[in-house]
Amino acid sequence: MSCITTLKEKGLKITPQRILIADVLHDGKGQYTAAEIIEHVQSKMPGVNKSTIYRNLDILEQAGCVYKSELDHEVVYHHDDHGHHHHLKCVQCGKVVDCDETLLAPLEDSVQKKYKFRVDFKHLVIDGICQDCLKLK
């Protein structure tokens, strides 16, 4: 669903800056760093302030349109639409391996049941130690 529609539903104002940010997130590759979003937005509308963009990314995150994950020393934002998968990140060598989403499903259920907390894992990053680094020990 369009981010703009969601914002409207929440009684938030539709500004040109917000439209541009939503456009970037809907387009293309589905994963952007804050710097990339800032660059794309400013290339279409020079002078847009970085605070505006950070603030709007937060708002979109709160609204549930955008997910944020910290991947290998970088924060990336992705739109809800793009399929989920997770990342296993080795804290020793920094390597990142993609990981199937079904792995997390049982956990979502148990947290939901036990704590009445709705978690919906999208692009979760799990820290650990990879096979290669374990061998080096």
What is the chain's alpha carbon radius of gyration, rounded to the nearest angstrom? 17
Q: Is 34 in the site for a second copy (CB under 8 A)?
A: no
Distance CA 77, CA 105 (A): 22
Among 6, 23, 34, 96, indicate the residue that binds DNA (CB under 7 A). Answer: 34
Q: Which of 9, 27, 39, 58 binds DNA (CB under 7 A)?
A: 58
Distance, in Å, from the CA atom of 46 to the CA atom of 48, rounded to the nearest integer, reads 6
71 binds a second copy per the rule CB under 8 A: no
Contacts (CB under 8 A) with a second copy, residues 96-125: 97, 99-100, 103-104, 106-107, 110-111, 114-120
Structural element, H or E, at residue 96: strand 96-99
The reply on whether position 17 binds DNA by CB under 7 A is yes
Query: What 3-state DSSP class applies to 49?
Result: coil
What CA–CA distance (Å, rounded) separates 15 from 83? Answer: 28
What is the C-alpha separation between 77 and 69, in angstroms, rounded?
A: 7
Shortest Å distance, C-beta 58 to DNA:
6
Asked if 18 interacts with DNA (CB under 7 A), we say yes
73, 82 Cβ separation under 8 angstroms: no
Looking at the Cβ atoms of 21 and 124, the one nearer to DNA is 21
Q: Which residues bind a second copy (CB under 8 A)?
A: 61-62, 70, 88, 90-92, 97, 99-100, 103-104, 106-107, 110-111, 114-120, 126-131, 134
